[in-house]
C-alpha cells in the first residue's frame, strides 16, 4: 500500500475526543437523526402557533455501550422541559434531569428560535450543528 492511500485511510477513520474510533462504536450508536428531527419538530410546532420553543445543540455524554463518549446532539426546549424526538424517541422530561443524565454543560449549548434555525439551515445547507464544535 502506498503512503498516500494509507494516509487517506487513516484520515477517514474518525477518532473522537476520548480516543474512540468510529469503527469501535456499536452500529446502533452510529449516526442519528437528532439535528434534522429536532429542527423539523421546531418548525412544525412554530406553524401550529407554539413560538416559545427553542432548538438546542450541545454535547451529551453517552450511555450504555457508549458510556463516557461525548458527542454532538440536538433537542428542543419548551421552558423547563426538554423534548427529544431523535431516533424514534418521544421523550419529554424536565430540563434539569435531561442535563444531568447527559452531563450537559449549560454554558456550552447553542440555542436557536425558529427564525435563527431557518437562517442557519438555509445558509449552511444542512440541519446542524452550526456553531457547536464536536467530532460527531
For the chain, what are the domain ranges?
31-124
- Cell triple for residue 42? 421546531
Q: pTM, whole model, 2 decimals? A: 0.77
In angstroms, what CA-CA distances link 58 with 5, 45, 100, 128?
A: 34, 21, 13, 11
Rounded Cα distance between 90 and 108, Å, is 24
Q: Taking residues 114-119, report their average pLDDT.
A: 98
pLDDT tens sequence across 24-43: 444 444 568 999 999 999 99
Amino acid at each position: 500500500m502506498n503512503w498516500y492511500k494509507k494516509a487517506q485511510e487513516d484520515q477517514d477513520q474518525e477518532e473522537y475526543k476520548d480516543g474512540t474510533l468510529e469503527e469501535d462504536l456499536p452500529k446502533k450508536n452510529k449516526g442519528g437523526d437528532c439535528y434534522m428531527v429536532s429542527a423539523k419538530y421546531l418548525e412544525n410546532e412554530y406553524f401550529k402557533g407554539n413560538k416559545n420553543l427553542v432548538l438546542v445543540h450541545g454535547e451529551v455524554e453517552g450511555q450504555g455501550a457508549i458510556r463516557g463518549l461525548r458527542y454532538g446532539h440536538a433537542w428542543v426546549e419548551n421552558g423547563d422541559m426538554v423534548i427529544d424526538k431523535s431516533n424514534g424517541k418521544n421523550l419529554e422530561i424536565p430540563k434539569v434531569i435531561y442535563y444531568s443524565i447527559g452531563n450537559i454543560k449549560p454554558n456550552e449549548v447553542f440555542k436557536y428560535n425558529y427564525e435563527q434555525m431557518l437562517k442557519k439551515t438555509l445558509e449552511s445547507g444542512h440541519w446542524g450543528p452550526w456553531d457547536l464544535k464536536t467530532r460527531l
